[in-house]
A and B are shown apart, each in its own frame.
Chain A
Amino acid sequence: MPDPPANSNDARNAVIEFRGVSYRPSNGQAVLEDMNLTVEGGETLMLLGRSGSGKTTSLKLINRLIQQSSGDVLVEGRSTAEWDLIQLRRRIGYVIQEAGLFPHYTVAKNVGVVLRLEGRSKDEIRRRTEEMLRMVDLDPSQFADRYPYQLSGGQRQRVGVARALAADPPMLLMDEPFGALDPLSRSELQQHFLRMREQLHKTIILVTHDVREALLLGTRIALLESGKLLGIYTPEQFRNSKDPAIRAYLEPFAMLDGDGEMGKTR
C-alpha cells in the first residue's frame, strides 16, 4: 500500500510536535518555556499538572487559539502558523470543561454545527448526528430536540464530545473534559471514553490535574510544572517512578490504595 492520502482521517499521520515552544503573554512572565514534545498518531497523551503549569496553554497552542512567542508547533508536519486557521481547527476536535454548548441550539443542532458549516446535506447531517448521539449513549429520539439547559452536566459533556467528533477529525483536544462532573458521572464518562477510543483511533491530547485520570486514560503522561515539561512517561513508568516530583502526585493516594495499584482496577 502506498502512503495514505494527505487528507485521510487515519490517525497514523495525525502527529503533533512542539519544538522549543515558549509562550509569554505580552505583559507577564513565561507560561510555557522551551517545550519539546512529540505526539504520535493514535495515542492518548495526558497533559498532567497543577493549575498554572501550562497544560491548557499547550493545548490552545495546537489549534492556535493562542500563538507561541517562540518555537514552532507542528500539526501533521506543518507549522500551525502556515496552516489555514479554519482548516487547522476543522481537523482538530475540541472539547472543553463546561462543554461550551451553544445555548440557543438544540442538542442535534449543536452536534451538527461543523457538518452544517461544511455544507453537508441535511440527510447526512441528521444521520451523522444520530450516530454520534448514540455513540455517546444518548438516545436521539429523547435528546435531539432538547436544549443544553435541559441536560445534566454529564449529558452536556457527552454532547460536547459528540459535537467535537461529528466531522470525524483525526485529532481531538480535551481540556479537563470530566473536571466539572460529580465522581460517579466522571467515572462513567471515563469508562465510556475508553470504549469509544477503541472504535475511533484518534490522536488525543487530554488535559487533567487528576493523576488517577491520567493513569486510567493515558497511553502516555506528560508531566508539566511551572511552564516546564518535566518528562513523559507511560502509566507504568509513572506509577513506579522514584522521582520526588512524581511521588508527590502519587502519595496522597498511596494510603487509599494500599499497594500503589491505583488507576489499574477502575
Chain B
Amino acid sequence: MNYILSHPSEIANSAVLHMWMVGVAMLVAIVIGVPLGILMTRYRRLRPAILGSANIIQTIPSLALFGFLLPAPWLGDRAYRIAIVTLALYALLPIVRNTFQGITGVDPAVREAAEGMGLTRRQLLWQVELPLSAGVIMAGIRTATVISVGVATIAAAIGAGGLGEFIFRGLAMVNNQLILAGALPAAALALASDLILGWLQGRLTPPHA
C-alpha cells in the first residue's frame, strides 16, 4: 500500500488515461456494434459472417492483437490509438450479440401490432425495438466495458500507458507493491463500471409484469 499512498497523483493520472481509452473504445464499439446487430436482424444472410468475425476477433490473444496493429499506418504512430482500436474490436462481440438478441426477443405480438398499425420500419426500430431491447443492449455494453478495463492494462505493453504501466514495471522489478498499484485501481474501476452500468441497465429495462 505504501506505493499507492505515496504516489496518488501518478496513479490518478494513469487511471484517468486508462478510463479515457476504455471510454473512447466503448463509444467506437457501440457506434459500430449496435448497427451491425440491427443489420443482422434485417438480413438473415449476414448473420454468420458478422457473428463469425466478431467471434474470431475474440479468440485472438489481446497481446497479439496489440502487436499486430503496431505496424499499421496512422494507428501505429500513437500507442493509445492501437489500444483503443483493439479494445473496441474486443467489445464488438458482446454488443453485437446482445443487440441482436434484444431485438429478436421483442414480443412478436407487439411487433405484429406495431406493423398492423402502420409503423414504418424506422418507426418500429426507434419507437419499439430499440427501447424494448435497450436493457439487453446495455447488458452487452456492461460486459464489454468490464472486460475492457482489464484488457486495457495489457495495452501498457505497447507503451499506451494506463494502469498497466505499474503492473509491467512491477513485474520487471519483482515489486509486488508496484503491481498492486496498477491492479487494485484497475479492479476498482472494473467494479465501479459494473455497478454504474448495471444501474443504467436497470433504468433502461422496460417495466414488466
Residue contact A104 to B131, C-beta cutoff 8 Å: yes
Q: Is the CB of B208 within 8 A of A149?
A: yes
Tell whether B118 is near chain A: CB-to-CB under 8 Å. Answer: yes
Number of interface residues, chain B, beta carbon within 8 A: 22
Q: How many whole Å from A57's CB to the nearest CB in chain B?
A: 13
Chain A, 206-217, contact with B by CB distance < 8 Å: what is the 0/1 string? 000000000000
Once A117-B123, A147-B207 are accepted as A-B contacts, the answer to whether A101 and B110 lie under 8 Å apart by CB is yes
Tell me the bound Cα distance from A87 to B118 in angstroms: 7
Q: Output the least CB separation between B164 and chain A (Å).
A: 41
Q: Are A100 and B207 in contact (CB under 8 A)?
A: no
Q: Chain B interface: which of A31-39, A88-96, A128-136?
A: A88-96
Question: Do the beta carbons of B113 and A149 come within 8 Å of each other?
Answer: no
The total of Cβ contacts below 8 Å across the A-B interface reads 68
Q: A104-B206, A104-B207, A149-B207 are in contact. Are A99 and B109 (CB under 8 A)?
A: yes
Task: Please state if B114 and A100 are interface contacts (CB–CB under 8 Å).
Answer: yes
Please tell me if the beta carbons of B206 and A100 are within 8 angstroms of each other in the complex: no
Find out whether the CB atom of A86 lies under 8 angstroms from the CB atom of B120: yes
For the complex, give the distance between the alpha carbons of A164 and B209 in Å.
23
A2 CB–B CB distance under 8 Å: no
Complex-state Cα separation, A65 to B117, whole angstroms: 10
Min C-beta distance of B44 to chain A, whole Å: 13
0/1 string, B2-29, CB within 8 A of A gives 1: 0000000000000000000000000000
Min C-beta distance of B114 to chain A, whole Å: 7
Asked if B132 lies at the interface with its beta carbon under 8 angstroms from chain A, I say yes
Count how many chain A residues have C-beta atoms less than 8 Å from C-beta atoms of the other chain: 28
Chain A residues contacting B111 (CB-CB under 8 Å) are 100
| A87 nearest in chain B by CB position | B118
* Residues of chain B within 8 A of A147, CB atoms compared: 207
Instruction: Select from chain B the residue with minimum beta-carbon distance to A173.
Output: B116
Asked whether any CB of chain B lies closer than 8 Å to the CB of A63, the reply is yes
Q: Answer yes or no: A28 CB below 8 A from chain B CBs.
A: no
CB nearest to B206 among chain A residues: A104
Q: Complex: how many Å from CA A114 to CA B113?
A: 11
Closest to B120 in A: A86
Q: How far is the CB of B121 from chain A (nearest CB, A)?
A: 10
Which single residue of chain A is at the shortest CB-CB distance from B119? A117
Please, how many angstroms separate the alpha-carbon atoms of A92 and B115 in the complex? 11
Q: Mark A73-94, 1 if CB is under 8 A from B, else 0.
A: 0000000000001111110101
A103 within 8 A of B: yes
Interface residues of A in 120-158 (CB under 8 A from B): 147, 149
Per-residue A-contact encoding for B116-156, CB less than 8 Å = 1, 0 else? 11111001000110011000000000000000000000000
Residues in A with CB closer than 8 Å to B115 are 65, 89
A113 at the interface (CB under 8 A from B): yes
Classify the secondary structure of B's interface with A. Answer: helix
A94 to B119, CA, bound (A): 12
Residues of A within 8 A of B118 (CB): 85-90, 114, 117
Closest residue of chain A to B207 (Cβ to Cβ) is A147
| Chain A residues, Cβ within 8 Å of B132 | 102-104
Could you tell me the distance in whole angstroms from the C-beta of B127 to the nearest C-beta in chain A? 8
Give CA–CA (A65, B131) in the complex, Å.
23
Instruction: List chain B residues, Cβ under 8 A from A87.
Output: 118
* Best-buried of B118, B119, B132 by chain A (most CB within 10 Å): B118
Q: Using Cβ atoms and an 8 Å threshold, which residues of chain A touch B208?
A: 103, 149
A40 within 8 Å of B (CB atoms)? no
Q: Which of B113, B120, B128, B208 has the most CB of A within 10 A?
A: B113
Closest-by-CB residue of B relative to A160 is B113
A98 within 8 A of B: yes
Which of A94, A98, A101, A104 has most chain B Cβ within 10 Å?
A104
Residues of B near A92 (CB, < 8 A) are 116
- Beta-carbon contact of A100 and B209 below 8 Å: no
Residue of B whose beta carbon sits closest to that of A88: B118
For residue A222, give the distance in angstroms from its CB to the closest CB of chain B.
20
Q: A90-B118, A104-B132 are in contact. Are A99 and B207 (CB under 8 A)?
A: no
- Which residues of B does A touch, CB under 8 Å? 107, 109-120, 123, 127-128, 131-132, 206-209
* Contacts A99-B113, A102-B128, A114-B117 supplied; 17 other A-B pairs, CB < 8 Å: A63-B116, A65-B116, A86-B120, A89-B115, A92-B116, A94-B113, A96-B116, A98-B109, A99-B109, A101-B110, A102-B110, A102-B114, A102-B132, A103-B107, A103-B206, A117-B119, A160-B113
